[in-house]
Structure 1
Amino acid sequence: MESFNQYLDTVISFRKELHRHPEVSGKEVATANRIVSFLKQFPPDEMITAIGGTGIIAAYNGEKPGKTVLFRCELDALPIEEINNFEHRSVHKAVSHKCGHDGHMAILCGLAIKLHLKRPDTGAVFLLFQPSEEDGSGAQKVLSDTKFKSINPDYVFALHNLPAYPKNQIVVKNNTFTCAVNSIIIKLKGITAHAAEPEKGINPAQAIAAILSAYNKYSQPDSKKPKYCIITPVHIRMGKKAYGVSAGAGEIHFTVRSDSSVEMKNIAGYLEEKARSIADEYKLGISIKWVQTFEANENNSTAVDLVRVAANSNCLALLEKKTPFSWGEDFGLFTQKYKGAMFGIGIGKEKPALHNPDYDFEDEILQTGISIFHHISKQITDADKFNYRT
């Protein structure tokens, strides 16, 4: 039987090719085509394309019926100008892979090679290349696609690379792994007036200040305490650069983070009520819109145990994280619907942070990600050999 090791350089080269040609959420057409071309070299038993937009599912089936597992990665990049000068830097201005999705895709492609060389004994393994994770819309698009209805996996898994953690360290956590994240846009409508006679208009400045103050007081950023909640102002606009005019309209945007999707609903209710109350106090019209919603990623304890077993079997350091990551991940929609887990792999303590313009994925963890995913798949589809109850 062929050894996977001879293909590792192929996976690394492909990761760099993906890095050179990034595409933002919803525009991942060329990226998807590259993935399809790569997979055709290691043909799955079935390939579904254009799922949830540009998504792809590759299925590797066992000889007998059994449990099924889905592994998910992300196709999209970010609207960030890359400042790296290495050979595989982005060829597209102001677009780059600064979250490591190129590496996540390469890991799934490496897993595809392993599954092609040796099919599962039973059941099936599905590889999902998901679009539009960064804007929070991709998971819902995939799950709502009629082409996904036939998949119905017993387990779902995803990973994320982690700067500031030791290289190849596996980071796990039961229950909430990543926070619920929601963004609110508040638009205020008053009356424009001459700046010399502001009393003849209704300026939104005081209301904006009151909303900022109220939300700041409500924020509870200590993840070790109850009612954990981070409320961050990200954009404010009011009036125009016209010094003779008292502004008659404005808007303010916040991102909101909680370690519970249920609690997020309570927070959202409070924030809306408070904003409307302040708008009424200052006699302003108001409209509120929520965007880029990420459900909390709730890890199933049995699924996390499968990760732990895979890490220990591969002699990898394991960190049990005490508190959730504060960033959002739309994989939370999958873990709401199916038993599953997301885990992290450290890429090095000195690596630039995610979304930084000088970030790059660490190729040395590709083998680790592939091995962990593959071991998880074997525990589920070859469960009798592993004597592990799933």
Structure 2
Amino acid sequence: MTLTNSDIIDLIALRHDLHRHPEVSGNEAQTAQRIVQEFAPLSPDTLITDLGGHGVAAVFDGSKDGPTVLFRCELDALPIYETGTPAHRSLIDGVGHLCGHDGHMAILMGLARLLSRQRPARGRVVLLFQPAEETGAGAKAVLEDAKFDPVQPDFAFALHNTPGLPLGHVALTSGPVTCASRGLEVQFTGRSAHASQPETGISPMAALAQVMPEMTALSHGTTQDPDFALVTVTHAQMGEPAFGIAPGDARLFVTLRTLTDDRMADLCEQGLTLLKTACEPHGLGFTHAFHDVFLHSENDAEATAIATAALDALNIPHDATGLPWRPSEDFGRFGHNARAAMLFLGAGHGHAALHNPDYDFPDDLIPTGTGIFHRIARDLLG
């Protein structure tokens, strides 16, 4: 069973409508409602709403016992102003679907259409529209929501479009496939002073100037190296924009990135040690907090083999090009309780990169992604 031409036209129209009305992480209420409306004529056996925030999960049951297989996409857009000029350009200033989540949703709705026409022979399929992927908060909220307990999956699959790979080509491998990352926010606390008497205060200048290059020097290797680490200073602010005040405080944002969660724990400890060493000689205090915490995503060997077999059956070319992926993805937590795999679906050479202001999801990937997921479901559940 495949999508009809009418299906594809409808799904492209859905994708364009979602693209026009993007919502950032945690605010996806209208997007979720639009998805619920799309499910109305498809009659899933169960429809769960307000899951981990604005998440939606639709369940299609088989007639016999079997495993639960989850397919996940994302609801949220990015707080980036879209500069591209498609006819379906974002209508919300400063917000855009510039990562392709609108396309991922269309793919899952394509799968829903096929399942509504022919349920799995056994087990059940769960289609999860996850909130707050871009902040790393959504998967945790979904998994901790009691409404998700009855549909805990045995297998979990997701895909992400990938500019730079040939259109329709898939990157897939077992083991780590996306990096762990988190934002480290540091607040330095000293004492301000008159600019003519800086010695009467405690300035964060020396510590800030010392710690920024020391932090970035913790970077190591590439994602092919198990010890990979990347530290990126993304924001620094010190004192007030005035000429009469010597600064007494500062703020620093740093993004930490590693191949695995264990390596992330080591990198966090190294970073905090550098901060302590830089601040103590100056009598400077500091506090820290972590934000946007993403665990690394690791493809289970069995789930990867199932996805590989589906690609082979569909004659879709695949290899491990570009993996592990340096960016992070809020899918890793699903692999803690299920056999999980993420595929990376090529968006084409020369295509605008993810999070670029002129990015737009290629509509040609909708039937391809739907076909891959449907084949996985059929192979597992009949």
Secondary structure of the corresponding residue to residue 7 of structure 1? helix
| Match of residue 387 from structure 1 | none
Secondary structure of the corresponding residue to residue 82 of structure 2? coil
Aligned pair 1:271/2:299, yes or no? no
Aligned 8 A contact 1:2 1:117 in 2: no
Amino acid at match of 1:208: L
Q: Which runs of 5+ in 2 are unaligned?
A: none
Residues 36-51 of structure 1 mapped to structure 2, 5 A cutoff: 36-51=36-51
Aligned 8 A contact 1:173 1:322 in 2: no
Report the TM-score when normalising by structure 1.
Answer: 0.96
Q: Distance in 2 between matches of 1:155 and 1:223?
A: 26
Q: Distance in 1 between matches of 2:146 and 2:257?
A: 31
Report the TM-score when normalising by structure 2.
Answer: 0.98
Secondary structure of the corresponding residue to residue 76 of structure 1? coil
Q: For the structure 1 residues 231 and 3, does the alpha-carbon distance in structure 2 shift closer, same or farther, using more than 3 Å as the test?
A: closer
Aligned 8 A contact 1:297 1:336 in 2: no
Aligned 8 A contact 2:226 2:259 in 1: no
| Match of residue 324 from structure 1 | 324
Q: Distance in 2 between matches of 1:316 and 1:340?
A: 20
Q: For the structure 1 residues 95 and 2, does the alpha-carbon distance in structure 2 shift closer, same or farther, using more than 3 Å as the test?
A: closer
Aligned 8 A contact 1:298 1:336 in 2: no
What is the percentage of aligned positions where both structures have the same residue?
A: 39
Q: Distance in 1 between matches of 2:29 and 2:349?
A: 34
Q: Distance in 2 between matches of 1:307 and 1:169?
A: 14
Runs of 4+ in 1 over 4 A off after TM superposition: none
Q: Distance in 2 between matches of 1:280 and 1:112?
A: 58
Q: Distance in 2 between matches of 1:137 and 1:366?
A: 26
Aligned pair 1:175/2:175, yes or no? yes
For residue 118 of structure 1, report the CA deviation from its aligned partner: 0.8
Point out the more displaced range, 329-338 or 221-230: 221-230
| Match of residue 297 from structure 2 | 297
For residue 214 of structure 1, report the CA deviation from its aligned partner: 1.4
Aligned residues: 382
Q: Which runs of 5+ in 1 are unaligned?
A: 383-390
| Match of residue 106 from structure 1 | 106
For residue 223 of structure 1, report the CA deviation from its aligned partner: 2.8
Secondary structure of the corresponding residue to residue 32 of structure 1? helix
For residue 6 of structure 1, report the CA deviation from its aligned partner: 3.1
Amino acid at match of 2:35: I
For residue 226 of structure 1, report the CA deviation from its aligned partner: 4.6
| Match of residue 386 from structure 1 | none
| Match of residue 136 from structure 1 | 136
Amino acid at match of 1:253: F
Aligned 8 A contact 1:68 1:380 in 2: no
For residue 337 of structure 1, report the CA deviation from its aligned partner: 2.4
Amino acid at match of 1:137: A
1:245-271 deviation digits (Å, cap 9, x = unpaired): 110000111001000111111111111
| Match of residue 190 from structure 1 | 190
Aligned 8 A contact 1:203 1:249 in 2: yes
Amino acid at match of 1:369: G
Cα RMSD between the aligned structures? 1.3
Aligned 8 A contact 2:3 2:110 in 1: no
Q: For the structure 1 residues 193 and 12, does the alpha-carbon distance in structure 2 shift closer, same or farther, using more than 3 Å as the test?
A: same
Q: Distance in 1 between matches of 2:211 and 2:316?
A: 47
1:149-175 deviation digits (Å, cap 9, x = unpaired): 111211001100001110000110211
Aligned 8 A contact 1:78 1:134 in 2: yes
Point out the more displaced range, 340-349 or 224-233: 224-233
Secondary structure of the corresponding residue to residue 152 of structure 2? coil
| Match of residue 335 from structure 1 | 335
| Match of residue 223 from structure 2 | 223
For residue 279 of structure 1, report the CA deviation from its aligned partner: 1.2
1:317-353 deviation digits (Å, cap 9, x = unpaired): 1022364111111111111221111110001111100
Amino acid at match of 2:202: I
1:158-206 deviation digits (Å, cap 9, x = unpaired): 1000011100001102110100001101111111112222111111011
1:214-235 deviation digits (Å, cap 9, x = unpaired): 1122111433345210000000
